[in-house]
Amino acid sequence: MSAKHSKNFILLFLTALIWGVAFVAQSVAMDYIGPYTFNAVRSLLGGIVLVPCVFLFGERKKADRTHGHTVDRPQDVLIGGVLCGFMLFLSTTLQQVGIQYTTVAKAGFITALYIILVPILGIFLKKQVSFQIWISVAIALTGLYLLCMQGSFSLGQGDLLVLLCSLCFALHILVIDHFTDRVSGVKLSCIQFFVSALLSSVLMFLFEKPALSEILAAWLPIVYGGVFSSGIAYTLQIIGQKGTDPTIASLILSLESVVSVLAGWILLGQALTPREIAGCLLMFGAIILAQVSPALKKTSETESF
């Protein structure tokens, strides 16, 4: 694995790590405020945190010598940020609403189905996926099922909403893949949070009655969700996806399900069953297989200069 792809793997794994632990914060916050209020406040906080980062990291070079096109053009930054923000808004809203009508385990499994939706949607965008990557996806899905699902599988109202959430997450990954070589990752992430915060605020004032006292009571999970899960993790995702096959990126990000189970074991003392341990091992195996696939090696050789 090249140094570049090792760095991308680490960034995407850190994203999955932060997202996995965020399930605890997200659950605690719902004891104080509604889902739309939580999404609006955490997205706004995530955007505010990134504003100074835009200036601290400085201006990107105007011409990308590798690809021969101008980067950080205002129209690309704006369009990319708005599209990413819209897809992020749809994803988080559908997940927050849908999870109220289904189990957390089933929601986690259905959400992670984006690992199969990304390569399927990529076919329509003329993105090639090697047979070995498809095998990795199949192994990861099996691991996810063992990890999250118990008993029979059926789709209810909440499940369908979470399935739509998974589709939106897949589209979010593909939109990032399209813009990541054209704009600064920090700028793209900053704009997407302000767009998501604005759209979530509309739903917050329409369907909920936000109170400052309730928001302050949930300050700790909001800070984690806004600063770490939003501002830091989504920015790491955008930077880590640069030069990474979107299908492989989705596989690494799906490790958030494994992390959430391990976090429950370490932080909450929840026991792991042999079935769940097998699911974790299968998912880790799928990621390793994807990382050493011929397709990735070919990409590494093509991008080296």
Q: For residues 101-116, give the mean pLDDT.
A: 74
The Cα–Cα gap between 52 and 242 comes to: 22
Locate all alpha helices (DSSP H) within 57-156, ordered by sequence: 74-98, 104-111, 114-124, 131-148
User: What average pLDDT is seen over the chain?
Assistant: 80
What DSSP letter does each residue of 151-183 carry, written as one string?
S-----HHHHHHHHHHHHHHHHHHHHHHHTTTS
Q: For residues 240-260, give the mean pLDDT.
A: 82
- Tracing tokens 């397709």 back to the chain, one arrives at 295
Q: CA 271, 276, 282, 286 torsion: positive or negative?
A: negative
Report the pLDDT value the prediction gives residue 80, as an integer from 0 to 100. 93
Beta-carbon contacts of 298 under 8 Å, excluding residues fewer than 6 positions away, are none
Question: What residue segments make up the domains of the chain, in order of their start?
Answer: 3-298
Average the pLDDT over each of 25-29, 67-71, 145-149, 237-241 and give the range with the smallest value: 67-71
Compare 156 and 32 and report the one with higher pLDDT: 32
pLDDT above 90 for 116: no
Beta-carbon contacts of 18 under 8 Å, excluding residues fewer than 6 positions away, are 228, 229, 232, 233, 236
Report the pLDDT value the prediction gives residue 267, as an integer from 0 to 100. 66
The amino acid sitting at 195 is: V
